[in-house]
Amino acid sequence: MFLVASTNAAIGLTQAMTLLRDGASAIDAVEVAIRAVEANADDHSVGVGGYPNLLGEVELDAGLMQGHDLTSGSVAALKQYPQAISIARKVMERLPHVLLVGTGAARFAAEMGFEPSNLLTEPAREAWTKGLQPEMSVEDLEHIQERHDLWRWVEIATDPERTGGTTNVIARDIDGHLCVGVSTSGWAWKYPGRVGDSPLVGAGFYADDRYGAAACTGAGEMAIRAATAHSIVMYMKMGLPLMEAGTRAMADLNDLGGRYLAGMNFIAVDSHGNHAGFSTYEGAEYLYFEASMEEPVEVPRTHVPVKARWGSNVSCVGERVS
């Protein structure tokens, strides 16, 4: 039994490990760990307190997948319901669908008995105001809902040097089953309705007990285009060892053209229980916690450089994300 996670999931890992030790399923452990991150208003990349979109509205993406039967559920661009990962689980368990978005996801959350609440905290609102003010005047911001040219602002607003975040958790339970979960408020000041990799099977997460599991944080558009989480697992299915599979999947990002390439991170495990983390940022870490340990330990991620560019700035490197 073990948990592998991004560092910002530390807040939920003890509770998740207690569940695993009591014989709970991997999905129960993933859900409880991620719920703790979603409830942590000090984490501005996930759930309550997450940084909002350009309009100042918090929109959440989350998804999970079980490795024993490849079942999966997700929500995207979900407003007003903080427990995105639990709603994603309900999508998987109660519907013949895999992904719900926007108002449909919120409607389903209400039907499932989830309580709506305000996700935009005062610190996040202040950060939004300050984050946009270098480019927008106070008057611009006051009237932002009426604008018809938000697209003009989005390249500056989602500059990866100033934004980032997401949480990843992979669990293996007493029966050896894997589950992976991801939750995020997405890129700060994103265009309304923007969906990243976090709720997309194969992009932000993937799990298959026979080969392994993987989950991403970082520039979601890149993971979507390269099908990064699935690539890692697919490379292992093809027989590559975990370290090589992760390095290859990261190197694949160098094949992406276009003007918007930033940073990427992922965690991964193989079917033997080996674990690893990878990042385009030097000095990044992830968490590993197995049942015999008292607490999670930080493990260095393997640094794999990937070329980054943003708009006309081809040397952009971006800040480290958890």
Determine if 184 is a binding residue for ligand GLY (CB under 6 A).
Answer: yes
* Smallest gap from residue 197 Cβ to ligand GLY (A): 5
Tell me, by CB under 6 A, how many residues bind ligand GLY. 12
Name the one range near ligand GLY by CB under 6 A: 139-147, 179-187, 230-238, 278-286: 179-187
* Smallest gap from residue 254 Cβ to ligand GLY (A): 18
Coil/strand/helix, residue 71: coil
Q: Which is nearer to ligand GLY, 86 or 168 (by Cβ)?
A: 168
Name the one range near ligand GLY by CB under 6 A: 96-104, 138-146, 194-202, 290-298: 194-202
Maximum CA pair distance of the chain? 58
Which residue in the block uniquely carries the two structure tokens 């980032």? Answer: 164
Determine if 280 is a binding residue for ligand GLY (CB under 6 A).
Answer: no
Say how far apart CA 156 and CA 43 lie, in whole Å.
22
Determine if 167 is a binding residue for ligand GLY (CB under 6 A).
Answer: no
- Catalytic position from the list 163, 166, 167, 280: 166
Say how far apart CA 207 and CA 174 lie, in whole Å.
16
**Interacting residues with ligand GLY between 217 and 246 (CB under 6 A):** 217-220
Smallest CA-to-CA distance from 62 within 16, 25, 109 is with 109
Q: Which is nearer to ligand GLY, 197 or 208 (by Cβ)?
A: 197
Number of H helices, E strands in the chain: 10, 15
What are 217's two structure tokens?
A: 């944080």
Determine if 318 is a binding residue for ligand GLY (CB under 6 A).
Answer: no
Determine if 187 is a binding residue for ligand GLY (CB under 6 A).
Answer: yes
* Smallest gap from residue 98 Cβ to ligand GLY (A): 18
Determine if 212 is a binding residue for ligand GLY (CB under 6 A).
Answer: no
Task: Please list the residues that pair with 215 across neighbouring strands.
Answer: 205, 267
From 131, 186, 246, 263, residue interacting with ligand GLY (rule: CB under 6 A): 186
End-to-end CA, the chain? 23
Q: Which is nearer to ligand GLY, 184 or 279 (by Cβ)?
A: 184
Say how far apart CA 44 and CA 123 lie, in whole Å.
9
Sign, Cα dihedral of 302, 304, 305, 311: negative
Chain-centroid distance of CA 60 in Å reads: 10
166 annotated active-site: yes
Residues taking part in catalysis: 166
